[in-house]
Amino acid sequence: MSLPKHVKIVEVGPRDGLQNEPMPVPVEVKVALVEKLVDAGLPVVEVGSFVSPKWVPQMAGSAEVYTGIQKRLGINYPMLVPNAKGMEGALAAGVKEIAIFAAASEAFTQKNINCSISESLERFQVVMEQAKAHGIKVRGYVSCVLGCPYEGEIAIAKVAEVSKQLYQMGCYEVSLGDTIGVGTPLKAQRMVEEVAQYVPIEKLAAHFHDTYGQGLANLFAVMQLGVSVIDSSVSGLGGCPYAKGASGNVATEDVLYMLNGMGIETGVSLDKVLEAGRLISNHLERLPASKLGRVLL
C-alpha cells in the first residue's frame, strides 16, 4: 500500500464551514479565526466568498475579513468567486488567489446558480481571463462528485468531464467535493481513478463531507491512489445552503489525528487547530462537531 509522505491541508472552515451556520459571525471573529488557523501552520485558509449576501448572508463582509487579516508570506488566502461581479470584488480587495465552483449535477447547478453546467463554465471563462490578466491563481471545485441531493447517483464520466474542463481552463488544482457526504471508499476510489485520466493526480484534492460518517474512510481510500491534498473544516463546521441535510466537511482535527497516527507530515499543529475550533464553537454557542474536539472536552 502506497501513501503520500506529506499532505497539504486546505482549511475551508471560514468559508465553506461558516456559510451555512445560522448564527451571524462578525468580521472581527472571522479575522481572529483565520489568524489562529494560519498560526496553527495551515498553508491554505479559504477566507470567504464574493457572493451576494442576499443568498448567502454569512459571507457578508468577506472583503473586510480579507483586508483585515495580517497576511503572512507563504500562506495562501483564497476567496470564492462565483462570477464576473464577484471577480470585481476580489480585484478591489487585492485578492491573490480565488476559487471557482462547478458541479457534476445539472439539477444542483440550476438550484445553486440558476444555469446549466455548460453555462456555468462559460461564465468562468470571463473570470479566468481576468485572473490571468492580473496574475491571480485559480483553484477549481467540482460539487456532487459522489451523489446529488436532487439527482441521486452521478455518472463518474460527468465528474471527469467537468474536472477536465476546469483544469484545461487554467485551474492549478481541482477539488473533488462529495457535497452531501454519501460516498463510500470504493466509490471514491473509482471516481478519482476516472478523473485522474484527465487531470494529473497531484493536481487533485479531496473535499469530503462527513454526513454519513464516511469522510475519513474515503480520504484514506483516495490517498492510496496518490491524492495528497485534503480540504477540511475546523471543528467540522458547515454544510451546504443548496444541499439540505448535508453536514459539515470532514473536521480538520480528525484529519490531523488520522494523518499524525500514520506518520504523514502536514506541518500543522493539532493543538492549535483545536484552539481555533474552540474559539469558533464558543462563538456559535455549540459543542465542537469534530470527534476529537468532543473527546477532549
| CATH code for the domain in which residue 19 is found | 3.20.20.70
Domain that holds residue 191: 8-278
Q: Is residue 91 part of a domain?
A: yes
Task: Write out pLDDT tens, residues 63-92.
Answer: 999 999 999 999 999 999 999 999 999 999
List 144, 148, 171, 240, catalytic entry: 240
Query: Are the C-beta atoms of residues 77 and 71 closer than 8 Å to each other?
Result: yes
The mean per-residue pLDDT over the stretch 186-196 comes to 98
The percentage of the chain sitting over the pLDDT mark of 70, rounded to a whole number, equals 97
With cut-offs at 50, 70 and 90, classify the pLDDT of residue 224. very high
Q: What are phi and psi of 233, to 5 degrees?
A: -125, 125
pLDDT value, residue 278: 95
Q: Is residue 161 part of a domain?
A: yes
State yes or no: is 240 an active-site residue.
Answer: yes
Task: Write out pLDDT tens, residues 196-223.
Answer: 999 999 999 999 999 999 999 999 999 9
With cut-offs at 50, 70 and 90, classify the pLDDT of residue 296. confident
- Distance between CA 222 and CA 7 in Å, rounded? 12
| DSSP symbol at 97 | E
Q: Range with the lowest mean pLDDT among 40-49, 259-268, 286-295?
A: 286-295
Q: Is residue 288 part of a domain?
A: no
Q: Is residue 2 part of a domain?
A: no
- Distance between CA 215 and CA 213 in Å, rounded? 6
The mean per-residue pLDDT over the stretch 80-108 comes to 95
Q: Is residue 292 part of a domain?
A: no
Q: Range with the lowest mean pLDDT among 132-136, 144-148, 247-251, 263-267?
A: 247-251
- Distance between CA 243 and CA 262 in Å, rounded? 33
**Number of domains present in the structure of the chain:** 1
pLDDT value, residue 53: 86
Q: Range with the lowest mean pLDDT among 40-44, 112-116, 176-180, 260-264?
A: 112-116
Q: Is residue 295 part of a domain?
A: no
Q: Is residue 121 part of a domain?
A: yes
Q: Is residue 55 part of a domain?
A: yes
- Distance between CA 152 and CA 167 in Å, rounded? 25
pLDDT at 235 over 90: yes
